[in-house]
Amino acid sequence: MTEAHPQVDDDPYRWLEEVTGTAALDWVRARNAETVEELTHGERFARLRDELREVLDADDRIPYVRRRGEYLYNFWRDAAHPRGLWRRTTLDEYRRAEPDWDVLLDIDALAEAEGENWVWQGAAVLRPGFRRCLVELSRGGADATVVREFDLDRREFVPDGFTLPEAKSSVAWIDEDRIYVGTDFGEGSLTSSGYPRLVKEWRRGTPLSEATLVFEGKPEDVAVRGFHDPTEGWERDLVRRSIDFYRSELYLRTADGLVRVDVPDDAVASVHREWLLVRTRSPWRVAGAEHPGGTLLAARLEDFLAGERTMTVLFEPDAHTSLDYYDWTRHHLVVGTLSDVTTRLRVLTPGPDGWRDEPLPGVPEIGSVQVVDTEPDHSDEILLDVTGYTQPSSLVHGEVGGELETLKQAPAFFDSAGITTEQFFATSADGTRIPYFVVGAHRNGPGPTLLTGYGGFEVSLTPSYSGMIGRGWLARGGTYVVANLRGGGEYGPDWHSQAVKAHRHRVYEDFAAVAADLVARGVTTPATLGIQGGSNGGLLMGVMLTRHPERFGAIVSQVPLLDMRRYHQLLAGASWMAEYGDPDDPAEWAYLGPYSPYHNVRSGQNYPPTLFVTSTRDDRVHPGHARKMVALMREHGYDVRYHENIEGGHGAAADNAQLAFKWALVFEFLWEQLAPAQR
């Protein structure tokens, strides 16, 4: 057997890490041309691209909204507005089939007027009053943004308002004349992950250089940020220091200085009016009681800061049920849980006799339910998104404790007649049962199947409707499978912690077990089983390529991590060391090296056909990962394709046309490899 690729110091493809280097981009363009030539000239590709674009641009999609004061705000893209419109309307108007929208900002017009490739990244609206906001725009979809103050009444950017040049900044309103700002202030102001290390208070009309320092994190932290709670009667200022991806500290800013909220640094603390909530990630013994990881606890903040440690248990996990999320309304706490990856909603209400716990009535116990928005300042209004793999989303509105109404219903983008959703469990190498969903039509024998997974950062993959998957895969006779691997959050923090650092191999064992189970059940065969994943899921695809190539007929890896020897030195990579480990530590490289895809490519292997997709403008996961992997595989003569969008950010697409093109490439490649007769 040949040796693995040499260590990084001898890396012959390091030059491909020069994101916009002339030689690197020449290489990218050459690979793009080869992939486009191979995959885009058939009739099927054109149909796929056009059908997917119809999904993305459909006029009858749900325009999802968030309430800010009296208005509901929405950002909308369609064929006529590929970069998008930021707009607002009232609830009464929104109830109409065709609401009258008040357009605040036309990103297409702005980009044309300024000669910039602007991509919308959101806006922070000042509470209360809702007259001003801080708009964030990125060039080509990058994480780094330009910040500009915008007047919502005048529909224009504020002359001499708060502005920041391109950086990975954090901004938050204090009042109309002050904001918290973290940005690139110069040498030493960013963490090793490239995020703000300093929080400053910046007053209107003064230069940024005169902003007052509020908090300074450490260079090795992930980030720090300041924010203001404007809730009437409970106004306060806070700073959160993110030590790593899973540890943080919360401080109250007082007249006497910063006061830390003394909870374990791997717990998440938050405040609402008089309440402190603590979500544990590991067991916490406090006031004589032991609380397991994944518990949600409550205490009165004033009492807690005074030293009282008696906590009320609001949720405690069991073997099948975990805490997914929680959101406040004015009087209630809405808690979403996952029971074997199916959503259940509860309403917890504090009162003089303690907390009342009731189900939220009127919500179906199928698929997935997400809280889209609440109005915690003045009402118990709630917006819910109800969806499933074959169930188009419904946007449900109402008041907690009152009737719920369906405000908007998403269209069906594919015929789901005969398509079912089933949940199965595979047994991983250590005996752990791994749930996965199979979506598809019953047929007489195995057929083309697309399996996806993520397995990291405590991210849960819950059932949701995708017109893209529906049209590109299910409607054409394919079966779609979602694996709920360890490393995710489907069963709480323990499900995640079982697969971090030295235990990362369990993610890959889980995914391989699901692949084997699909074959054993007769759903598919290795030759007709394709896999796809992005980011951390792209790393998963790279590991499957080098560890279990015999189990798959085709692999798609999108915006992936692949070089685990240098990931922490590339863009935001240092922020993920709590998940993967530190490759500069020999003890940790000892478990990273054996699965690092870039270091485990060998000649003479039966690797299946592979497609790598990434973006030049991805400033989160460096495009050099995918570039170098493809160059190395080409050196060994493997069947590999590559496409890099010159813009697009971590999503690898800056507008709907690019997104439709990208997914059409992916589906065309998969159909060609897994079912070449189906043209």
Whole-number mean pLDDT of the chain? 94
Q: Do residues 607 and 636 make contact, with C-beta atoms less than 8 angstroms apart?
A: no
Most confident residue range from 197-201, 403-407, 658-662:
197-201
Q: Please identify which of the residues 497, 535, 575, 615 carries the catalytic annotation.
A: 535
More confident residue, 652 or 188: 188
Q: What integer pLDDT is reported at residue 679 of this predicted model?
A: 59
| Mean pLDDT, rounded, for 310-316 | 97
| Mean pLDDT, rounded, for 623-640 | 97
Q: How confident is the model over 85-126, as pLDDT tens digits?
A: 999 999 999 999 999 999 999 999 999 999 999 999 999 999
Q: Do residues 389 and 463 make contact, with C-beta atoms less than 8 angstroms apart?
A: yes
DSSP string, 227-294: EEE--TT--EEEEEEE-SSS-EEEEEEETTEEEE--S-TTSEEEEETTEEEEE-SS-EEETTEEE-TT
Distance (Å, whole) CA 63 – CA 74: 6
| Mean pLDDT, rounded, for 227-232 | 96
Q: Which residue has the tokens 């279990």?
A: 548
Q: What integer pLDDT is reported at residue 571 of this predicted model?
A: 82
Q: Do residues 594 and 4 make contact, with C-beta atoms less than 8 angstroms apart?
A: no
| Mean pLDDT, rounded, for 181-192 | 96
Q: Is 378 a catalytic residue?
A: no
* Domain limits, the chain: 8-54+413-674
Q: Label residue 340 exposed, middle or buried (CB < 10 Å: 0-12, 13-18, 19+).
A: middle
Q: Is the pLDDT of residue 649 over 60?
A: no
Q: What integer pLDDT is reported at residue 9 of this predicted model?
A: 55
Distance (Å, whole) CA 622 – CA 535: 10
Percentage of the chain exceeding pLDDT 70: 97
| Mean pLDDT, rounded, for 457-479 | 96
| Mean pLDDT, rounded, for 451-476 | 96
Q: Is the pLDDT of residue 550 over 60?
A: yes
Q: Is the pLDDT of residue 653 over 80?
A: no
Q: How confident is the model over 617-631, as pLDDT tens digits?
A: 877 889 999 999 999
Q: How confident is the model over 255-309, as pLDDT tens digits?
A: 999 999 999 999 999 999 999 999 999 999 999 999 999 999 999 999 999 999 9
Q: What integer pLDDT is reported at residue 654 of this predicted model?
A: 59
Q: How confident is the model over 477-489, as pLDDT tens digits?
A: 999 999 999 999 9
| Mean pLDDT, rounded, for 427-439 | 98
> Can you name the CATH fold of 8-54+413-674?
Rossmann fold (3.40.50)
SS3 call for 390: coil
Q: Is 397 a catalytic residue?
A: no
Q: 159: cis peptide before it, omega within 30°?
A: no
Q: How confident is the model over 43-54, as pLDDT tens digits?
A: 999 999 999 999
Q: Do residues 506 and 498 make contact, with C-beta atoms less than 8 angstroms apart?
A: yes
Q: Is the pLDDT of residue 540 over 60?
A: yes
Q: How confident is the model over 356-411, as pLDDT tens digits?
A: 999 998 887 667 999 999 999 999 999 999 999 999 999 999 999 899 999 999 99
Q: Angle at CA 349, nearest 5°, toward 335 and 304?
A: 90
Q: Is the pLDDT of residue 42 over 50?
A: yes
Q: Looking at the DSSP assignment, which residues form a beta bridge with residue 275?
A: 272, 300
Q: Please identify which of the residues 332, 622, 625, 650 carries the catalytic annotation.
A: 650
